[in-house]
Amino acid sequence: MKERFCLSLYSEKAMLLRRDFLQTLAAGTAATSILSAAPARRPNIVVIVTDDHGVGDVGCYGNPEVRTPNLDRLASSGVRFTQWYSNAPICSASRAAIMTGKYSDRTGVVGALPSEPDWSVPGLRAGETTFPGLLQKLGYRTAAFGKWHLGSAPESRPMAQGFDEFFGWYSGWLDAYSHRYYQLGGPPGKIFHDLWRNETEVFEEPAYMTELLGREAQAYLARQKRTQPFLLYLAFGAPHYSMMAPRKYLDRFPATMERDRRTHLAMVAAVDDVIGGVLDTLKRQGMEGETIVFFQADNGATREVRASSYGKPYAGGSNGPQRGYKQGLFDGGMHVPAILRVPGRTKAGQVWDRPVISMDLLPTFMALADPGTPAPAGIDGQDILPVLNGASRPHENLYWSFGNSRAIRSGDWKLIVNPPQFPDDPVTDKVWLSNLEADPGEKKNLAASEPERVRELTELLRTWQSYVGLNLE
């Protein structure tokens, strides 16, 4: 089926879209060759993922009120992506694509998995191809610290999916101090503790979770030997609900700042401090020059009422100029901050301004760890290093689903079927077409004036849905 799907993208019907895409691609590649010679040794890999974190919540993306000096210095030493997309506007599905290199709908992990105290929630399937599992086979030591949310059933847990070590939780979120999951809403309700080291429950309250992850990450790095490569997957639960930050982080921001925004930025500042500790430890261990560091958010900032101090739609996070939020297919839901540093391959301070997507991480990491070996069969991502070097093109089309919404981006054109609704942003149209080059905020619907383009994109979207097993509603 995948072969038929790929061929359909090069059909005669797609040629008009490719023409527009190539025109916009030329500007992105002509002046951009940001890679140099390959490193001599197999690299270590550090992957950092934050939660509900918009592009307006990172200083190097242009917001002066944010305090992220360590993410900013990572960006100054590597490549900052201005059009990096997660594969979904919500956590579990987004993280499944990172792990597998596939569209989320093909992984069996759709939307946000439930959180249950019996540790039986299915997620990633037994025998799934994951990038930690592939690296493990190459002799890497592998560790996952933080939020998992990819299944709590035994076959779906981190140590069944390629990790040698795990410190973290299976649920969608935790209280930052008690490390317990609280069900919100109606009865019957549930409260359960959810913090584990490997397969053993551990108790660390009242330690602040973000700082606990920093402790674990730095200790792990300090144990590593330069004779064996390692993978560290560091997945924060911040700045996702529960919205909590110690006073020392809050004090970095004016007391006059709106309360939710101040708390949100304080949580981001705590994350940034931990990232700084990771970067400093790599340097101290003499591993900075042989360690790839990648950062991204799992999805954009949220509008959920549960995150607000006022019982209103949350306004503490910022998706910058993008329209929409988490749980929606306007760009604010999945257009996220991302930074990559590959010693000896990426040049300092570069910016890549064409679309890239999270499922590309698996083939990129494997190309770096095991050069010359073909990408694993059955994945949808592509190695982005040739793209950054101008030697190959990005994906012709990118696709998303969430609930009954579907979206496709082809070049600078983006079509959404059943666009999302958010407080103060009602949408009555069932089809929304934007040109993201001219209108990055997706404010103007061009569907009525571009019927042929809508038809072409809808047909491509239907083909993709058949490939991943969805129906157009």
CA distances from 233 to 50, 145, 167, 363, 451 (A): 11, 6, 11, 16, 44
To the query of whether residue 53 is one of the catalytic residues in this protein, the response is no
Determine the Cα–Cα distance for residues 301 and 422; give it in Å rounded to an integer. 13
Among 53, 60, 91, 264, the one annotated catalytic: 91
Q: Among 102, 287, 91, 421, which residue's Cα sits nearest to residue 432?
A: 421
- DSSP state letters, 59-121: GGGT-TT---HHHHHHHHTSEEEEEEE-SSSSHHHHHHHHHHSS-GGGTT--S-----TTS--
Residues 248/219, Cβ–Cβ less than 8 Å: no
Tracing tokens 């584990």 back to the chain, one arrives at: 196
Determine the Cα–Cα distance for residues 318 and 167; give it in Å rounded to an integer. 29
Return all residues near 468 (Cβ < 8 A) that are at least 6 apart: 103, 105, 106, 399, 401
DSSP strand pairing (79-85 vs 335-341): antiparallel
To the query of whether residue 6 is one of the catalytic residues in this protein, the response is no
Retrieve residue 205's tokens: 């309250």
Among 53, 149, 240, 264, the one annotated catalytic: 149
Determine the Cα–Cα distance for residues 86 and 410; give it in Å rounded to an integer. 16
- Give exposure, 98-110, as e/b (b: 16+ Cβ within 10 Å): bbbbbbbbbbbbb
Residues 423/310, Cβ–Cβ less than 8 Å: no
Residues 308/265, Cβ–Cβ less than 8 Å: no
Alpha helices in 227-296 (DSSP H): 247-250, 259-284
Beta bridge partners of 288: none
Tracing tokens 């944010």 back to the chain, one arrives at: 66
Residues 69/59, Cβ–Cβ less than 8 Å: yes
| CB neighbours of residue 440 within 10 Å | 18
Active site residues: 91, 149
